[in-house]
């Protein structure tokens, strides 16, 4: 990989799932020695929470696992994201449909579900914990951590094939 591989995590409002996935992936890339090879960011399909920090419940549950979301500020996905990113990874089927509808046809191959990279969890989506309790935020972390491990392995394969 001569230039940095770019990954965008996408959920609805960019305050729960996608910032969690962004921070989890960054931490795993750091542990794998790949943080300089991959740029990670996140966005939402909707403009509900622009400029707001991560949901407090997401931040508390993530911090309990050593993942810091304090620097996050929500933003909405842009047309430029589809051109600039190598992967646009969505959390659920609704996010997938919205991202695909907004994405130019030439970049459709970049839009995928994060859970396609999961190694242990059979779940196909990362469910929205926003209306639920603590268990939902813990489930998000479990699913995201599994999928990000698979994503790191994917990046390692890409890197070894390009070296």
11, 16, 103, 148: the catalytic one is: 11
Q: What is the C-alpha to C-alpha distance for residues 94 and 121, in angstroms, rounded to an integer?
A: 20
Say whether 11 is catalytic.
yes
Does 57 participate in catalysis according to the annotation?
no
Residue 38 — φ and ψ, nearest 5°?
-135, 130
CB distance 63 to 138 below 8 Å: no
163 part of the active site: no
Q: Which of 120, 110, 28 is nearest to 67 (CA)?
A: 28
Count other Cβ atoms within 10 Å, centred on residue 140.
Answer: 26
Among the listed residues 95, 28, 91, 85, the one whose alpha carbon sits nearest the alpha carbon of residue 58: 91
Separation between Cα atoms, residue 150 and residue 85, nearest integer Å: 18
Residue 35, classed as helix, strand or coil, is coil
CA triple 146-108-2, angle to 5 deg: 70
**From the candidates 55, 81, 128, 146, which is the catalytic residue?**
128
Q: Which residues belong to the active site?
A: 11, 17, 128
């Amino acid at each position: 990989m001569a230039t940095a591989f770019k990954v965008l995590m996408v959920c609805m409002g960019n305050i729960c799932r996608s910032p969690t996935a962004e921070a989890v992936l960054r931490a795993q890339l750091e542990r794998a020695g790949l943080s300089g090879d991959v740029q990670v960011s996140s966005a939402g399909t909707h403009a509900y929470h622009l400029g707001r920090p991560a949901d407090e419940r997401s931040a508390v549950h993530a911090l309990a696992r050593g993942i810091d979301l304090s620097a996050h500020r929500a933003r909405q996905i842009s047309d430029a994201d589809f051109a600039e990113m190598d992967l646009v990874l969505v959390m659920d089927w609704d996010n997938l449909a919205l991202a695909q509808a907004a994405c130019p046809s030439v970049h459709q191959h970049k839009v995928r579900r994060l859970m396609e990279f999961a190694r242990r969890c059979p779940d196909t989506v990362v469910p929205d914990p926003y209306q639920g309790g603590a268990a939902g935020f813990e489930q998000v972390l479990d699913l995201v951590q599994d999928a990000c491990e698979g994503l790191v392995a994917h990046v390692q394969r890409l890197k070894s094939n390009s070296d």
